[in-house]
Chains A and B, each alone.
Chain A
Amino acid sequence: MSLIEVNHLYKEFQVAKRQAGLWGALRSLLRREYLTKTAVRDVSFAVNQGEMVGYVGPNGAGKSTTIKMLTGILVPTSGEIRVNNLIPYKERQKNARQIGVVFGQRTQLWWDLPTIESFELLKQVFQIPDHRYKQNMATFADILGLDEFLNTPVRQLSLGQRMRADIAASLLHDPLILFLDEPTIGLDVLAKERMRQFITEINRERGVTVILTTHDMSDIEKLCRRMILIDNGQVMYDGELVLIKDLFGKERVLIVDLEGETDSFSVAGAQLVKEEGNRKWLRFNRELTTASQLINRISEKYEIKDLTIKDTEIEEMIRHIYEKGLAVYEMNSCRIENNKF
């Protein structure tokens, strides 16, 4: 029995259609036409206790919508969600006790109260026992450095501080599951790193199950073993991050800066993926061609000024999946939900 179960989940929104022109405006006063937008279509997955799952996709893919349904704010159009055996939207309050939620884009603290009072209010709201509250506050203050702004009203906090306060607030009541929706959005490199460390620790030490949405791939790379990739409301990939990396790990990109006339550039064993004047991006499979072979071949015909070799980045991998579809990758243990893309 998994902690979180999602089966054939759909969410549709009705969007009012605007009619063009004056006549259209008048007509829409009486009768409005709606377009149905499907934000989440036929999504299924299961998450076990203690897992840390990255829920990834481009903007507007349906990530947040899924999270909002898991937390009980949104009501699914159809399909089934169970979070620790509760149906979130039916038992919102019960569900709220077992989950912690952080939305990167908005705070759940009370704007005009000093940060510490928001925490105290949460203590009452969740009826957290005194000693537990103190323990948690001490731990979080320590790792997240909350002390420096505990007495500042939430509205005056910097984004980084606010995120730290928000994540501490979401964990005060020792939730089973932590939902993080874009937790590192807008943070600088240092703050991001700090946040990631904290999330890792919470997952490891307390066994909190973490579901994390982001469009920053480095978050996922650093944090998660498992990734669910979603686009257009559909699951494109669900499996080990390592697997997808392995799949693409054979590929490298060689970037060369050349001298002279290079208009009709091509080289055997590599694919020209991008070019900007004399700078060429060449993708090659390192099991078939080595970098030195490739460089040799190029230097026979051209003068190489500079070169770098790069791993394929995950963003690039995702683009591949989009382009080629998923059928090819239906292998090993990775569960592919949908391959008719």
Chain B
Amino acid sequence: MYWEFSRKSFQRSAAYRFDVWTRIAGNIMFLFMWGFIWYALYYGKETVGGVSFQAMLGYIMISQALQGIHGAGAQLWEIQERVRTGDIAMEMLRPYDYTTRMLFSDLGSIFFYFITAVLPLYTVLFLVLKPSVSLTLAQMGLFIVSAVLGFLIRFCIEMTFGLFTFWLIETGGVEDVFYFSISLFSGSLVPLWFFPGWLEQVAHYLPFQAIFFVPNSIFVGQLKGPDIFNALLGQAIWLLLCFVILRLVWHRASMKIVIQGG
């Protein structure tokens, strides 16, 4: 039954093609921005901290690709809006679980975006820019597993943050905290290995690094051998934890619904 939501959301994405193009344009602009920033930082140096520019390029490219995919799902502000307008309450009149159905809807739009935009675009980019990526098939498989885990973790966290709207009237602060944490601690922009020691320590104890940093690192070969399995285990634990928290928050939130009108 939930797959029907994926299908519908896939169709809906297809209906808004312009949206796909603008997303792609934005995504590429950021890719080039970060590309040039790293290019400038690497200027005149072969490696920084033992990482070559080509590897770094691979890192930001896969990071942008993943971010593009994540961005095709429902955004934090959309969830907040649904809570605020009471649309979420209307969905509680249905015989399904709201968060599960949101996940499946996201899968639909993401799948559309992935096959029509991200996959072809980044295939070309990788062929043209030739970052140093030497993946074995097994590593590729592990990367995919890790990317999926990262996606699910991000989904749980974003949903949880969105549901905080049930308790708060003004949610700008929540949004700021979320976006700050996800840009800094997830390693989406700057890999954690460039962090000063103490900050890296902090980041390692937060769930955000499990979203982008782990799959990215596997992709560029910074994580190898048994380290990969440790990282995957870490992701699985974070996912479990975030999922439990999401369920708890959802349970509390659904007991607390207040809708306008007598």
Contacts and interface: CB of A to CB of B under 8 A. Distances in A.
Interface of A: 13, 39, 59-65, 68, 71-75, 89, 92-94, 96-97, 99, 101, 103, 105-106, 108, 110, 112-113, 117, 121, 124-127
Given A121-B8, A124-B4, A64 B262 contact: yes
B1 A127 contact: yes
A315 B160 CA distance: 47
A73 B261 contact: no
A85 B86 CA distance: 27
Interface stretch (B37-45, B93-101, B197-205, B218-226): B93-101
B8 A73 contact: no
Interface string B235-262: 0000000000000000000111111011
B90 interface: yes
B95 A96 contact: yes
Nearest to B91: A108
B8 A117 contact: yes
B5 interface: yes
Interface string B77-88: 000000000110
Interface string B59-85: 000000000000000000000000000
A68 B261 CA distance: 10
A93 B95 contact: yes
A114 B44 CA distance: 57
B145 interface: no
Nearest to A68: B259
A113 B258 CA distance: 27
B12 interface: yes
B15 interface: yes
B74 to A, nearest CB: 13
B24 interface: no
A93 B2 CA distance: 14
Given A92-B254, A93-B96, A125-B94, 19 more contacts: A61-B262, A64-B261, A68-B89, A72-B92, A73-B93, A73-B257, A73-B259, A74-B257, A89-B255, A94-B95, A96-B93, A103-B90, A106-B86, A106-B87, A106-B90, A108-B90, A121-B8, A124-B1, A125-B1
Interface string B127-151: 0000000000000000000000000
Contacts of A124: 1, 4
A87 to B, nearest CB: 13
A112 B257 contact: no
Interface residues of B, number: 25
14 contacts: A39-B262, A61-B262, A64-B262, A65-B262, A68-B259, A92-B92, A96-B92, A96-B94, A96-B95, A103-B90, A105-B261, A106-B86, A121-B4, A121-B5
A113 B15 CA distance: 9
Q: Which of B15, B92, B254, B258 has the most CB of A within 10 A?
A: B92
Contact of A101 (B93, B254, B256, B262): B93
Nearest to B12: A112
A74 B259 contact: yes
A92 B257 CA distance: 13
Interface in B131-180: none
B173 to A, nearest CB: 12
A63 B262 CA distance: 6
A105 B255 CA distance: 22
Nearest to B90: A108
Interface in B2-54: 4-5, 8, 11-12, 15
Given A117-B8, A127-B1, A97 B95 contact: yes
A121 B104 CA distance: 13
Contacts of B262: 39, 59-65
A94 B95 CA distance: 6
B108 to A, nearest CB: 12
A143 B5 CA distance: 29
B4 A125 contact: yes
Contact of B96 (A62, A101, A106, A125): A125
Contacts of B8: 110, 113, 117, 121
A73 B261 CA distance: 13
A110 B5 CA distance: 11
A75 B15 contact: no
